[in-house]
Amino acid sequence: MGFSAKDLGIDLGTANTIIYNPEAGVILNEATAIAYDKYTGEIIATGTKAKAMYGKAPRNIEVIKPLQDGVISDFDMTAEMLQIFIRQATEERKPAGLRVVVGVPSGVTEVEKRAVLEVVREVGGKEVYVMDEPMAAAIGAGLDIEASEASMIADIGGGTTDVAILSLGGIVVSTSLRYAGDKMSEAVIAYIRKKKGILIGMKTAEDLKVSVGSAMVEKDSNGEPIVRTVNARGRDLVSGLPKTFEVTNIDMEEALRESVDTIIDAIKSTVEKAPPEIAADIAEKGMMLSGGGSLIENLDKLISMRTGMEVNTADNPYEAVAIGTGKSLDNIEKLKTYAEIKIR
């Protein structure tokens, strides 16, 4: 079956929304955020522009993330935001007749799935399918999910971490945690407050994850840690004044330790729940990482050390879910076996 400009794969994520068209590739990548005037209801900004206003907007403007922990927390604002995103992506003022596949965390309830379906239908979706994110991520990462030999993936997003083992076109066993990139950022904020007496915001915490975030600090030939340092700014809790301070990758390793341990425990428990033959496949083939959280320095190496498995990271980890949802439109009959619910 051929593709059309109205075929869209959507990763409606807690941190970012990515829209993929099978012919054009990624056609939108924006922060999942919306800013509006509290008194008039006027939409002021969406996406990255709205995110940049977080913590800086005047009192009449509210900046929100309409998804929390991988699920819709504000239906109306999600619909407003997604409608603007789809208009931008399709370059249509009133998109209609869209065929859409949306990725959702594997642990969401039927009610939460229905909310996703309804919001996409409201913004122009005629034929809407919901696919588990680990399934979509596996397709997007290029894993052969139809093979009898099992494959394993851990998709570490902004709101959720989804770990799944797949075989013969289906999910054999999975674990979904509402613990991922946002919780890592919160852990960094808590660490800086406790250890350095300085208050920072989410954006600074996210920037620190990117610049010096590390799951395991590497050592030189003498066994000494290879230290990397950056300057950051926050508010001193004693004086109340702005302060510039140093953060190292050693600080970040400590700040992220609990988060990383939680994710590794989920990976271990998923393997432990698998049938013996499936576990044997995983021991031989290893596993794949995807999602923005997979890019934390040396996370793959630490998982490999803790589990004894080979660990690889997808070529396009940020976009794997969106690519997988879009590629699944190539075979609608097969898609119907992946997607639990559909609306026409």
pLDDT of 28: 96
Nearest to 214, CA basis, from 288, 312, 299, 157:
299
Q: Could you give the CA distance from residue 157 to residue 183 in angstroms, rounded to a whole number?
A: 10
For residues 196 and 185, what is the distance between their CA atoms, to the nearest angstrom?
16
Which residue, among 101, 103, 104, 99, has the nearest Cα to 127 in the 3D structure? Answer: 99
- Mean pLDDT for each consecutive 10-residue tract of the chain (344 residues)? 73 94 94 96 96 91 93 92 92 85 88 90 89 94 94 96 95 93 96 98 94 96 95 97 98 98 97 94 95 96 97 96 92 73 55
Please name each of the domains of the chain with its CATH number.
7-137+320-343 (3.30.420.40), 144-313 (3.30.420.40)
CB burial class (10 A; 0-12, 13-18, 19+) of residue 126? middle
